[in-house]
Structure formats: structure tokens, C-alpha cells
Structure 1
Amino acid sequence: MKRLVVVLCVWALGLAGVLTSVVLPVGAAAAMAVTTPGGFASLAPFRLLDTRSGVGAAKVAVAAGGTVHLQVTGRGGVPASGVSAVVLNVTVTAPTSAGFVTVYGDGSVLPTASNLNFVKGQTVPNLVIAPVGTNGKVDLYNGSGGTVQLIGDVSGYYLAGAPTVAGAFGSLAPARLLDTRTGVGAPKVAVAASGTVHLQVTGRGGVPASGVSAVVLNVTVTAPTAPGFVTVYGDGSVLPTASSLNFVAGQTIPNMVLVKLGPGGTVTFYNAAGTVNVIADLVGYYQPGTGAGFTGTAPARVLDTRSGLGAPKAKLGAGRTLTLTVPGLPAGATAVALNVTVTGPTAASYLSVYPGGTTRPTASSLNFVAAQTIPNMVLVKLGPGGTVTFYNAAGTVNVIADLVGYYAP
């Protein structure tokens, strides 16, 4: 979302999860070999960009209207060629004014879609599936009137080529499919409490008219009049208990959503309370069926430390971990897509999500301040036995995770 005056809770600065560069041995970044066009390969999180320390770009804050041209192929386990898109957890920190960041393929036209929105002094992450330019680079554009520091951690990539087999991914240039402020994709009106928006996705923005199982959307809510949440799910299915974004009154917040399509290629957005404007930018799509890549599922809650689901009924302590055995996965699953939410934190901190049984990376998945509820989509490689580990750096916090799909060879 662009050109908005946003009112957000100010995030804590100086969090170790975004301030420390990742240094991993070469073997730690190795992924399972994939050969199918559109197939996904998960990687151990690896820091490709940090403008504060000069990793991947000059050691200087990005100027207003400035662009970082980041080399992604041939680094952190990403092959030197044959890659269509990469999965990056992008974090902005120390912005000197409110603005946005747009991530897109180098050499292409700057899209109108945005990936992160922030206010002065805020630290905020969002997961991004970024198309890769023909030269193996990704551009990060600073759309604010001030300077900002940028961090990028890679956690996977998609192979280039037209997706033709089940589960393969089709990367697209970002395109806005929904904006209730302007009437794009839905009536020009804020979504009412308990209201829904039914969005046609197939046949728009480069998505084929048929033969699509799921899509990747960067969803942003703005100007909510009350605390609440938005749930995004396949049209025609039962409203799940999982949420996609949580927010407070007056907040503007994005999150990436991987959502299974309903009949006719439609997606439903449900608003729990108050009124809110909703924006959705298309990132890509998946072929139907199981195999080669991603299989979308109806959102299902697999972890909630508030109720004892998937882990003991207790907050995750400072410097502590919990390991989740992800339920309901087929044999051979290699990675999962989880919408992870933290709530009720007692201190500013960060959460790292990584494969069970592996060394904890210094990359972070979510950053938050005391009392904040915040989600972020995480694509994480599975550890032995289908496990994923969650690490909390400081204070205590409740952790929730909703499974939205899995990857299999």
C-alpha cells in the first residue's frame, strides 16, 4: 500500500534478531535438489542483505526514493542460475519518516504494490516472494521521504520455467487485485464488522483462468476502527478459526498469505470487528495437485500455547524454545507454510522459526514490543520427524501457528 499516513505502534529498535548478521557454514544452506519448473527448495535462513553492516550492499541507509539492487543467485544456497523467485524475510529498521518498501525483480518496472509499510522509528518484517531479474538480482525500493536500513534473509527459492506439474509455482510481477479504498476488485467501501469480501483471482494479474489451486497475496489492512483480525480463505468453504492478520484501531499492517482458491477461482476476506479497508497484491500462483511444490490446505491451527495445542499450556520463556511436530503432513513433506502470531509478550523481543534439530540461526521471523499482537508468514524447512522449532529471545510470549500448506518433492 502506498501514500498513506499510517498510525502504528512503534517497534523496538536494537533487537538482536535483526541486528546480527547470519554466518552459516556452506552445508547449512544446502537444499534438497529440485528439478521441476516452479518447484520449491527450502533453505536454512541466511542473511543476504544488511545495509547497517554492508552485507550485500553499501554500508549506508537507503536514501528517500533510493533502490538497492541485491544479488541473490549464487549466494546463501540459491543456485547461480535457473531461479524464478526467492523467499525473503525483509525487515526495515530505523526509518526517519513514514513510508513503504517495494520488492521486485531487477530490470522490471517499479510496481504500484508495496510489501512493507512503516512509520518513523519502526522496525517491521514481512515475508516476501520476490521475482528474480534476468541478472539474478532483486530490487528493494524505499518509498519514504527519509532514509531506512534494510535487512533481507533468504529461506528458499523457486525454479524458473512454466509451471506445468502439480504443486509448481508461477512467479508474477506484483499486481494489485483488491483495494476497498478505491473500488479495485470490490465496492469502494470499508468492510463492515463480520463482513466478507469475495475476490475474483483467476484470470487477473497474470493468473491463468483455470488450473490454479492456490495464490500468494500480500494483504494489508488500514484504517481499522476497532481491534480485530482478518481471515483469508477459499471462497465457498467454512470460515476457519485461523486468522491471517491481527490489528488494533488505527493500525496499518501487512502480511503475506498463501490461500487455497475456492470454486471459480475466488478468495474470501472476513473482517471480525469494526470497519476496515483491505488491500491485496498478487505475488504468484500454484498449480493444482500434490507434488513438485506447494499444496494449499484450509487454514488449520496446529500450535497455541494459550490453550495447550501442540505444546504445553504456558508462555514461551526468555531464551527458550519449543519444538512442534507438525500434524497432518504426508510422507516426504520437506517444508511448511505457517502463519505465525505472537500475542501477550511481556517485553520487546523477536521470534526465530527454524527446522527442528538444527542450529538456531540469528535471523528473526517476527519482531515485536511488549503487549503487541503481530503475525508473519513463515516458510520453514522441516526437521527430522516433521518438526519445527520456535525460539523466543526475551520476556514471555504466547505463540500461535496456523498451517496453510506444505511442500513436497
Structure 2
Amino acid sequence: MIEITDKHQYNEAQDQPVIIDEIRNFVEARWVSAPEAIWRILGFSMSGMNPAVTRLQVHLPNQQKVIFNENINLEEVIAANRNQQTTLTEYFKMNIQDPDARNLLYIDFPIHYVWNKETKSWKKRQRGGCIGRMYMAHPVKGATDFEELKTVNGITYPTFKESAQQRGYLENDNEYQICIVEVKKFQMPIQLHTLFATLLVFGDITDVRQLWNENFNAMAEDFAYEGIPEGQLQIQKVLQNLNSFLQRHAKTISDYDLPELLPEINITKLPQTLLEELSYSVTPEELAKVAQADNSEASAFTEYLIRIGSGTEPTIENDLIWLPDEMVIYPHNNNDLINSIINVIYPNLIEYALDTMFITKRAILTPLNNDVDEINN
């Protein structure tokens, strides 16, 4: 209802505005042509859709769309089996029950099967036709559950994206790598930072970490020239530069698969020993050796320390603790004590004397400086 106070719509006799129902006026003034009139008189449908369309759900495990009344208890909604059934989950079930279904793509399923909204299940189509509509997803035939979608050639990958990459559905990052390689030839590392961040924001990179690994050394060259040690310090400096650019576009390092950005530190104030420790990096080969190693000795040593700390380790006279034989170096004689320690800690010292990694990974700790002098001499 619309109230009009225009002078042409004003009742001067009653001194009040006239209420005009524009909707009613429109309906009453509607003109129906002869074809429309006879069509309605004969009861024909005024509209239709051919072929029929079935909307197919695409969702992650247990993340399907559920419609419910706001007055219903949410726990009941979650527990209801009906809400667990979708066109996708029932597609998986049909692939288990019907061998013919395994030859069909999900998008083609409505052509051969009918979706019953009441029972929320698929059944074979007897007549008619229908097409499926769904969000963009790469085709996989015959999957029986979500885990099978992530499995390629017998290997189950942690994410659907990795599975799609292994199936060849996603483009690789060759074009981005070629772009960066070209820029490396005539631009400084700081320009590489800008380019890399630009690709993160506006590109569609499938494997950010791989692109980072392939180009990190080039992006860190400036910091190497400044004397910043290799390893975590250079990584953090590059990440800081990238993050400052990303923030201009409402992004941060945490939005991408990149190393963690730590709180910014002033490396000029760090002691040299800490700089050396931060610069140390473990190679993948070393990590593999650790993963394959037998940790029984480390576990036994840890338990031994816990027993000492809790006071449950047996003691001998004067509350002394007996050290296990595997933790004790027994010299041939008292005069050979220092050489025995050196031979155990630094085996083949003459052969590896110039190997800095061999030297820096080992140390002999002594309580007195006199002992240090004696060992060094």
C-alpha cells in the first residue's frame, strides 16, 4: 500500500489523502491475450524445463550442506542418518553395489540413474533423461569413498590437491619457474622478492614450496654478501621482505605453504655462537638417516635420566649412581686416559682433521681449564 499526497490524489471534501493500491490496480488492469487465455483454460503448463537437471553436490568429507528448521536441536540434525546422505556419498555406495556404475563419471550419473529426494538414494533410470550439474571438479570414475579419491597408483596422498596433481589434472608451475629464471639473469635479488610475491598474490601456483626451494638461493644472494650466515637467518630475511610486499595486498606469509616467519630479530646484536647455531641446517639425507636409525639407545638414555631425576635409580654407597657400562670409556691404563677419550670422540682424527663438519659436531666437555689445556696439548 502506498500513500500518495499529490494534489491530484487528494480528497478535498474529506480533507484526507487517497490510498492507492498500485498492485491491485496493476492486476485489474492486466491484459491477457487470446493465446494465453486459451492456454490457461485448457490447463496447459505455462513453463517447463527440458531436459531435467539434477544438481550434484560436491563437498569434502562430513562437510555437506544440510538444510534444517532453526527450532530443531542441532545434535539431532547431526545424528540423523538422512543428513549424512548426499548425491556424492550415495554415488560412492552405488559404485560398491553396482559394477556398471563404476564405469560412469559422477557428472554422467543422472543420465543412467535417478536421484530419489525422499529416500536420498540412486536407482537405475527406466525412462526419460536427465543431465547433471555440479561445481567444477576433475573426473574420476568408480570411486567408492573419499580415500579412494586421494589414492593414485596405490599411494594415498594427504590432500585432494596432491592427488589431482598426481593424476595430471592440475597445471604445473613451469611457466612461473621460466619467468623467474629469466629475471635472474638481469635483475637483483630484491626484484626477485617482488616478483615472487607478485606471483603468490596474482598467480595460480600449484606447489608454492617447490617454487620456493628452487629459487631461494637466488633470492638470498644479497644477504649472503652482507655476511648473514646461511640457514635460518637468510630464510627469515627473505620471508620478511616477501611479507612486507604481501601485506600491501592483505596477505601474509602464513597464507601460503612457506617456512614459518619468526619474530624479526636484529642479527647484529646476536653472539657469534648463536649465529653459527642458527646458520646450521640439516640436509634431507641426514634427516633420512635419523628416521631410519634405531632410537632404542636414545630411549634408554632418556629413561635413565628420568629415573635419576625422580630418585628411583638404585644408588651405591654415599648415594652415588652407577653409570652403565655403555656410557663409560675404559682406558687401557691411567696414563692413556686422555687418548682414550679423544679416540672415542674423534675417531680417525688425522683423516678428518680438515673436515669442519666432523670437528664442529663433536666436543669434549671438562670441568676445569687445566683439563682443557692438558687435552689440547
TM-score higher than 0.5 here?
no
Greater C-alpha radius of gyration: 2
Normalised by the length of structure 2, the TM-score is: 0.20
Q: Which has the higher helix share?
A: 2
Return the structure number with greater strand share: 1
Tell me the TM-score normalised to structure 1 length: 0.19
More contact order relative to length (CA 8 Å, sep ≥ 6)? 1
